[in-house]
Structure 1
């Protein structure tokens, strides 16, 4: 079932939202306001969550609050990777949550937290245990990023890539499972923290890992899953067939569904981080996905179909 929907991913991060085109986030604010209203019209009871912010920035959150963006939402979300990318120690997690709680009455979800095995698998083991100690019982939702390593042949979505040095390559080692599907050390411990811990796993268009991922999620006792549907992918041939297959496979989980990625031909600039030319079109996409997969009435997901084969063009969210 669809438990919640999120509007975008890390909107205050220049790798995921073009701040040169929208330096004060006014375009993002309007887009979310329209999308929230469109989703509420389709399903008034569905939980709506602001796109998880990274870095954790109370000033950014307060600016959206003051614009009225949070008025139609049910929760806000944060992302944190203190052992890899953030400039604060892992023990500051409670302080970081409190900073956001101070500027909004909405519940704070942690929709991405994880640790790379770039240096050593033991670091991820420690990070998992310490994160659980700090966050379990402190926030209503926690999603560990991620189940799988990002395949080396797929680019990580970041605007600077190799110029980031080792920071870029950490993107590829965030999984509990290696690229070939074999478990890392922390995988053996993860079931101790489910079902309180969910998993954030992005599935790419016609992702060959989907069925194996479902088996692993069940084996680990995961009940809550965060994933996404890409507005950009919706323009691919047979997009609805792939979306149907993905959502059918995930029906057994409580899914938090993220809507993001601007189609090149619908952005102010021709790339996936651009604000849309017409924010109403993003709202229409969100409403259509809710109508198809999370309507107040009967489920309309089509019967399962075989994937048409993989495609070389992939967008990875980290």
Structure 2
């Protein structure tokens, strides 16, 4: 069921890991090393992926290599959104990937790439086509972000509306499917890829969209799916039943599952981006999830 595990999500992004507390990422590096070792001990066939770098920063990767993190990983992942948030173009993807390969011999996956319909449906459709052309043959794995638009009444997790201004609202328009369930024009272009590109779709706790997601993934011919199991949900009532339901629904796909987000009461500060008080608790959570869902 689980083919690969990703250790955190965008650890070098200020909205995903509080490196104001963990200056130098020393806590993160120790936690990632221990997680990689624990996953290998549980199931040696599961690929270990260093959480998608955003921004794509070879210096951060070199820093992780210097702390022994890459010795416990099988893959390095990157994220890119050149038409929405990054100050570079789609045509820059080959150089971005090459900059990572100069630092590591590990395979490089693109585990999030996407284009919003904030400026119009045609922008996403053309951007998807061009992204596929540029990345095809250059990345072993590509996950389009995302399947669904984010419901307007939700918040964009890890984002800061007050700081981001209009950029914040792009998060709500990244899907191939609108909130009302209707497909956008880019769905045709994605389906034409014949399963060559995977999907990244996050599910919130008790997400009502799970069954519809499975239906759409089948219809679009998706084989590889990236999603997450949040450590911060592990302390909720009924969490085990929800994890079981989610993973059972997704068992037909080749799943890369991302482990991240600190329970507020277990963080150095009470926030899901905080380094944990005891990183061993995160490591234990990851090992337990691999034991339960990696077959």
The TM-score range, normalised by the shorter chain, is over 0.9
Counterparts of residues 132-211 of structure 1 (less than 5 Å): 132-211=132-211
Q: What is the aligned partner in structure 1 of residue 130 from structure 2? A: 130
Q: How many Å apart are 1:194 and its aligned residue? A: 3.2
In 1, Cα distance between equivalents of 2:21 and 2:134: 37
Q: What is the aligned partner in structure 1 of residue 88 from structure 2? A: 88
Q: What is the aligned partner in structure 2 of residue 46 from structure 1? A: 46
Q: What is the aligned partner in structure 2 of residue 309 from structure 1? A: none
Find the residue that maps to 1:11 and give its secondary structure. Answer: coil
Q: What is the aligned partner in structure 2 of residue 6 from structure 1? A: 6
Q: What is the aligned partner in structure 2 of residue 308 from structure 1? A: none
**Is the contact between residue 2 and residue 254 of structure 2 (CA under 8 Å) also seen in structure 1?**
yes
In 1, Cα distance between equivalents of 2:4 and 2:30: 20
In 2, Cα distance between equivalents of 1:182 and 1:293: 32
In 1, Cα distance between equivalents of 2:94 and 2:136: 11
The alignment's C-alpha RMSD in Å is 0.8
**Is the contact between residue 76 and residue 108 of structure 1 (CA under 8 Å) also seen in structure 2?**
yes
Q: What is the aligned partner in structure 2 of residue 102 from structure 1? A: 102
Q: How many Å apart are 1:159 and its aligned residue? A: 4.6
In 2, Cα distance between equivalents of 1:182 and 1:194: 20
Unaligned runs of 5+ in 2: none
Counterparts of residues 1-318 of structure 1 (less than 5 Å): 1-294=1-294, 299=295
What's the TM-score, normalizing by structure 1? 0.92
**Is the contact between residue 158 and residue 273 of structure 2 (CA under 8 Å) also seen in structure 1?**
no
Q: What is the aligned partner in structure 2 of residue 313 from structure 1? A: none
In 1, Cα distance between equivalents of 2:27 and 2:130: 37
Find the residue that maps to 1:20 and give its secondary structure. Answer: coil
**Is the contact between residue 231 and residue 285 of structure 2 (CA under 8 Å) also seen in structure 1?**
yes
Q: How many Å apart are 1:291 and its aligned residue? A: 0.5
In 2, Cα distance between equivalents of 1:237 and 1:162: 32
What's the TM-score, normalizing by structure 2? 0.99
In 2, Cα distance between equivalents of 1:2 and 1:145: 19
**Is the contact between residue 159 and residue 168 of structure 2 (CA under 8 Å) also seen in structure 1?**
no
**Is the contact between residue 230 and residue 259 of structure 1 (CA under 8 Å) also seen in structure 2?**
yes
Q: How many Å apart are 1:54 and its aligned residue? A: 0.3
Unaligned runs of 5+ in 1: 300-318
Cα deviation 1:1-51 (Å, max 9, x = unaligned): 211000000000001111211121111101101111111111012100000
Find the residue that maps to 1:181 and give its secondary structure. Answer: coil
Cα deviation 1:230-287 (Å, max 9, x = unaligned): 0000100010000000000001000000000000011101000000111111000000
